[in-house]
Chain A
Amino acid sequence: LAKTTQPISMDSYEGQEVNITCSHNNIATNDYITWYQQFPSQGPRFIIQGYKTKVTNEVASLFIPADRKSSTLSLPRVSLSDTAVYYCLVGFFFKTIFGAGTRLFVKA
């Protein structure tokens, strides 16, 4: 299983773009990269998933370089409600292990 490394915490202000990078040096060929968001006392919520290059949906973008050893979650114009823990997971149809995640705190 590919181990992931993320910053423990990040601070930002409302309206700013936030980029959270995840390292996964031993990612396997079949592995997808998935990001989840978790609010206190709730289950994680899917944000975005990708395999290579760039993926964009209505809430975020995911940038994956050619070597796939890292990925960057980009949240455009964050708001106070984006304060949460963000987890980067790497895997494909196997058991999923959560890393420590990144605690994002958005200030007014």
Chain B
Amino acid sequence: GAVVSQHPSRVICKSGTSVKIECRSLDFQATTMFWYRQFPKQSLMLMATSNEGSKATYEQGVEKDKFLINHASLTLSTLTVTSAHPEDSSFYICSARPQRQGGLFANTGELFFGEGSRLTVL
């Protein structure tokens, strides 16, 4: 299956600093990527939809100035947590949807997820 890679898998930072998390689709092109956050024993919460070459669409309640998303190419989206605080500590996960094309992924809408990035803000 398709592979989505996230980096870093774990990051610890001091309060007030910014942290960047990368999400790469390794063997397919993704015009759309999604970013989620997940607190312990809770479901994934969609934060934003990242579209290549355009501004991200944020879910209600998610601060776009706090969580900067850049989708500069068809294989890379980045999430930057700016001025991080302890309450931003969470598990961040990205997913990517392959461009519609014939073959295995045609018309399925299947999502491929990264391994997740655990952010701890001290």
Looking at the complex, which of B12-20, B70-78, B80-88, B111-119 is the stretch in contact with chain A? Answer: B111-119
| A43 x B49 contact (CB < 8 A) | no
Contacts A87-B43, A95-B46 given; indicate if A46 touches B110 (C-beta within 8 A): yes
Chain A residues in 8 Å Cβ range of B4: 43
Complex: chain B residue closest to A93, CB-CB: B109
- State how many angstroms separate the Cβ of B86 from the closest Cβ of chain A: 19
Kindly count the residue-residue contacts between A and B in the assembled complex, taking CB atoms under 8 Å apart. 56
Instruction: From the candidates B1, B46, B114, name the one contacting A98 in the complex (CB within 8 A).
Output: B46
* B34 in contact with A43 (CB, 8 Å): no
* Residue of B46, B94, B95, B108 contacting most chain A CB atoms (<10 Å): B108
Which chain A residue has the least Cβ–Cβ distance from B117?
Answer: A43
B interface with A by C-beta (< 8 Å): 1, 4, 6, 34, 36, 43-46, 49, 57, 91, 93-95, 97, 100, 108-116, 118
Q: Please, could you name 22 A-B residue pairs with CB atoms under 8 Å apart, sorted by A?
A: A34-B111, A36-B113, A42-B115, A43-B6, A43-B94, A43-B113, A43-B115, A43-B116, A44-B44, A44-B93, A46-B1, A49-B108, A49-B110, A87-B43, A91-B109, A92-B109, A94-B109, A95-B49, A96-B34, A96-B46, A98-B36, A98-B45
Q: Interface of A with B (CB < 8 Å)?
A: 32, 34, 36, 41-46, 49, 87, 91-101
